Amino acid sequence: MQEAPHPADQILDAATRIADHLLDLQTRVNAQIDAALADLLPDVQQRLGVERADDVDLSGLVNARITGLSVVVTPAAVATVVPLPAASATTTRAARRAVIDIVNGLDDRLAVIAGPCSIHDPAAALEYAGFIARMRKRHGEDLEILMRTYTEKPRTEVDWKGFAYDPFLDGSSRISVGLVATRMLMCRITAIGVPVAAEPLNALTPQYVNGLVTYNGVGARNVTDQTARERVSGFSSVIGFKNSPEGSIEAAVQAVMTARAPHEFLGVDHHGVTAQLSTTGNDTGHVILRGDKHGPNYSAAHIADTKRKLAERGLPEVVVVDASHGNSQKNHLRQIDVVRDLAGQMAAGERAIRGVMMEGNLVAGRQDLDRRHPERLEYGKSVTDACVDLGTTEAMLAELAEAARVRRGAGARAHPPVHR
């Protein structure tokens, strides 16, 4: 029988208890692996004719800058004690199919990814998920709404790296707890019927939320990373690539081309063990326009230019627009203008716009994180990029829903049904 959900404000406590048990287990497993290798490897050496080497002084040669090496929970162990609920599986399966159909032009709705810039408080995240659930029910005919559940944060230099890496917000960096808590949180959100989106930065972290994520974005700082491009070629989720921080759309187009192809590369299995992975390629790959430090790139001219670049490479003319980041020039309220412009393009018949991203939270704005006193944070306000509040998000969703309806009507008029 599935364990009853923990109260929202006790998720971290429960994740800590789970992580402690699993870390103890993994320490014992690792000791058994070491013992087995010590017992079996000498025989392999002998059969291969490898002579026992003299001890070599490796000081200064290996791990010269590593100050610690800790055991971590494995994806398989976490999935065993935090199993995927049946309701979550249903949510993810249906939402992936819906977003794939939107990307492929088989569903004329608009995909919308809305939510906090980053998750830092499970209770606030679950409250926001309740809001998204209500919006999905209201706008389901026109929008497929996903919640941003970003627990890893890219950093231009140095700063808090996200809930998965430092869940207590205090620099303690209890990654195993963060990984368990991330899975628990995504299970809770998807179980109420809200599909989730993520932006994984690490090759290992997606394994911990396997089966839970509908949409994965590859961020602007990672879009030129060949290993990231190859990795998502094997993802079961829908994937999008943002243009680079310098504004290169070509980098995102190249990434789409790479991700759509099959690859062979080194990865990890669900036990966290290095494995050779073979992929089919991911044909959901598409470009995300997020602007850059010089200005936005969501105008009709930018959309047309992106469509041309895609067509030149034989790719579908599919565009998702991020209303925040460079397109809002880091001013959260400018997302309103971005959405209004996109809604106008859609209402005028632009069909390449298949999705919109926006950053919203319970409370508008942002606040600085003091890791010495994380308890002083204001509830429901971002600790990374500034977000719009619930009322503003609600208004933007309504505007996009109306635009989707108008576009659908325009399409029906342009292609009336044939009566036989």
* Tokens coding 117: 């810039």
SS3 of residue 168 by DSSP: coil
Structure confidence at residue 296 (pLDDT): 97
- Chain-centre distance for alpha carbon 34: 35
Q: Please choose, from the candidates 27, 74, 51, 184, the residue with its C-alpha nearest in 3D space to the C-alpha of residue 119.
A: 184
C-alpha to C-alpha distance for 237 and 402, rounded to whole angstroms? 27
Q: What is the pLDDT of residue 1?
A: 40
| 8 belongs to a structural domain | no
Residue 59 lies in a domain: no
Looking at the structure of the chain, the number of domains it has is 1
- Percent of the chain scoring above 90 in pLDDT: 87
Q: Is residue 169 part of a domain?
A: no
For residue 97, is it within any domain? yes
Q: What are phi and psi of 194, to 5 degrees?
A: -105, 110
Q: What is the pLDDT of residues 257-271, one digit of tens each?
A: 999 999 999 988 889
Q: How confident is the model at residue 417 (pLDDT cuts 50, 70, 90)?
A: very low
Give the ranges where 197-294 is alpha helix by DSSP (H): 226-231, 249-259
CB-CB contact of 401 with 143 (8 Å): yes
181 assigned to some structural domain: no
Distance CA 36, CA 21 (A): 23
- For 88-106, how does the pLDDT look when each residue is reduced to its tens digit (9 = 90+)? 999 999 999 999 999 999 9
- State pLDDT tens for residues 334-344: 999 999 999 99
Provide the 8-state DSSP code for 55: P
Tell whether 112 is covered by a domain: yes
* Cβ atoms of 193 and 199 closer than 8 Å: no
In this model, does residue 396 exceed pLDDT 60? yes
22-37 per-position pLDDT tens digit: 999 999 999 999 999 9
Q: If we measure between CA atoms, which residue out of 176, 181, 169 comes closest to residue 383?
A: 169
> 25-36 burial by CB neighbour count: b if 16+ within 10 A, else e?
ebeeeeeeeeee
CB contact set of 149 (below 8 Å; sequence gap of 6+): 115, 119, 125, 182, 185, 186, 189, 196, 197, 198
- What is the CATH number for 99? 3.20.20.70
Q: Please report where in the chains the tokens 């969703």 appear, as a residue.
A: 397
Amino acid, single-letter form, for residue 152: E
What's the gap between Cα 131 and its chain centre?
20
Which residues contact residue 182 at a Cβ distance below 8 angstroms, ignoring those fewer than 6 apart? 119, 149, 151, 163, 164, 205, 208, 209
Residue-wise pLDDT tens digits, 192-205: 999 999 999 888 89
Domain that includes residue 235, residue range: 93-159+193-368+375-414
Say whether pLDDT at 188 is over 50: yes
Whether the per-residue pLDDT at 419 is higher than 50: the answer is: no
Q: Cβ–Cβ contacts within 10 Å for residue 154, how many?
A: 15
Helix (H, G, I), strand (E, B) or coil at 286: strand
Q: According to the model, what pLDDT value does residue 418 have?
A: 40
Rounded distance, CA 8 to CA 380, Å?
Answer: 13
End-to-end CA distance of the chain: 55
Identify which has the larger pLDDT, 175 or 157.
Answer: 175
- Residue 31, token pair as written in the block: 């000791």
Nearest 5°: the CA angle 338, 131, 356 is: 25
Give a yes or no: residue 19 inside a domain.
no
Classify residue 261 by burial, with Cβ atoms within 10 Å: 0-12, 13-18, 19+: middle
Please tell me which residue, 74 or 294, carries the higher pLDDT value.
Answer: 74
Model pLDDT, residue 413: 63
1 sits in which H/E element: none
Averaged over 148-157, what is the pLDDT? 81
Average confidence (pLDDT) over 47-53: 88
Residue 346 lies in a domain: yes
**Sign, Cα dihedral of 10, 12, 14, 17:** negative
Asked whether 379 and 349 are in contact (CB, 8 A), the reply is no
Average pLDDT, the chain: 94
Per-residue confidence (pLDDT) for residue 414, from 0 to 100: 59
